[in-house]
Chains A and B, each alone.
Chain A
Amino acid sequence: MRKGLKTINKYFSIFSKGVIKENPVFFTLLGMCPTLALTSSAENSVGLGIATMFVLTCSNIVISLLKNLIPSQVRLPCYIVIISGFVTFVGLMLKAFLPDLYDQLGIFLSLIAVNCVILSRAEVFASKNGVLASAFDGLGMGLGFTLALFIMGTIREILGTGTWFNIALPELSEPMTIFIYPAGGFFTLGFVIAAVNKFMKRRPHNISCDNCPHKGMCRRGEEE
């Protein structure tokens, strides 16, 4: 009984660390491109977040199953093939069942395949841990990513168009169109990260190399 509780605790902590403590967008600053590009409305951002979460969880499971079979020299191409397989799957499913969302996500659906969050979890976590732990890690990180996108999308949609999930809100002020422009994406993410730093009392940081999928090959971090 006690042991069972301990196991549950362990998996819960793996799951929960991705949501807040190690949130991929706010703390490890990975996956910036989709975070900025698709968050002009809350609906799109949640759609992309869930698609990414699905791919992340599945690829984590498969990679942790295959971790002893993949030679370490060619692991990156192997991971990419596994990930883009799932991306193709998600793309076809969305095209069949949610064609509107498919059109809205456009090229960024294919680009899930090169999302640094997914590759970084494959390299940092799934290739070293068991199947169940990797699945929970994928779910947690995916949820954290979705949450971050949702926050960004909410702020930008409410300020930029005065709606939320396409529902008109009582008008507080003239919608500030700048927030749905690209520039608004940079501003919003900048201020959200600043607010997170302030409230979580974290040290200011730059992009660190710890979570980068290229850490093993790239020597840029060592130079500086």
Chain B
Amino acid sequence: MDLARNLIIILITCVLTENLVLSQFLGVCPFLGVSKKTSSSLGMGLMITFVMVCATMLTYPIYNFILMPLNIEFMNTISFILIIALFVQLTEMILKKHLPPLYKSLGIYLPLMVTNCAILAVTILNVSGDFNFGEALFNAFCSGIGFLLVMLIFSGVRARMERCDVPVSLRGMPITLIAAGIVSISFLGFGGIVEGIFGG
């Protein structure tokens, strides 16, 4: 029961109340850059979820079994980023060789993952919070789902916006940012939902 409760709290927190993009400002670049079309938002969101889970799978043990015993926790940024870069490169090679159709549709987003701040942030937050391995994996998964959800919502908003007559100086990036602000306000409404469900 306790486990289920923890998992539900993680799910709601990651997807709604503490959404990666809208309340923590992680991964804003792909959020603004790739959300023009629904298909590319979906691809980017799925790829981010996949890489986040795999990166956590690799970095969590490394932090706990190598960095912690050696007392070199401050090396986490440098080691995590290398692991993510290596993993991404490997996945790209494997996909290219064995699953060319998948590579064509999703693989093109892979190089962008290396410098995606959301992925590095989630791996670091996972080891610095008091999650166990399973919770950390679930947290990574939910963060990715939260990102995917916001990407999809926002690609819809942008499709509507294409047809609007926007003042000249606001065209392009400014109006996109303002629309993102409005979407972010709508997510403010979820604040306090975790406390509401479980009574504090």
Contact = CB atoms under 8 A, between A and B. Distances in A.
Nearest to A185: B25
Interface string A73-99: 000110011001101100110000000
Interface in B2-53: 22-29, 32-34, 36, 40
A119 interface: yes
Interface stretch (A127-135, A161-169, A193-201): A193-201
Interface residues of A, number: 52
Nearest to A74: B89
Interface in B161-185: 168-178, 180-182, 184-185
Contacts of A92: 74
Interface stretch (B59-67, B108-116, B140-148): B108-116
Contacts of B120: 110-111, 113-114
A33 interface: yes
B124 interface: yes
A178 B115 CA distance: 30
Given A110-B124, A190-B177, A213 B115 contact: yes
A186 B170 CA distance: 13
Interface stretch (A5-13, A45-53, A215-223): A215-223
Given A92-B74, A183-B184, A113 B81 contact: yes
A107 B24 CA distance: 11
A77 B88 CA distance: 11
A39 to B, nearest CB: 10
A186 B180 contact: yes
A184 interface: yes
Contacts of A88: 74-75, 77-78
Interface residues of B: mostly helix, strand, loop or mixed?
helix
Interface residues of B, number: 52
A207 B32 contact: yes
B149 interface: no
B181 A33 contact: no
Contacts of A190: 170, 173-178, 180-181
B172 A205 contact: yes
B172 A206 contact: yes
With most chain A CB atoms within 10 A of its CB, the pick from B29, B32, B109 is B29
25 contacts: A32-B28, A32-B32, A33-B25, A76-B85, A76-B114, A77-B114, A80-B82, A84-B78, A84-B81, A88-B74, A114-B117, A182-B184, A183-B188, A185-B25, A187-B178, A189-B177, A190-B170, A191-B174, A193-B173, A198-B169, A207-B33, A214-B115, A218-B111, A218-B112, A219-B108
Interface of A: 29-30, 32-34, 36-37, 76-77, 80-81, 84-85, 87-88, 91-92, 107, 110-111, 113-116, 119, 178, 181-187, 189-191, 193-195, 197-198, 204-207, 213-214, 217-220, 224
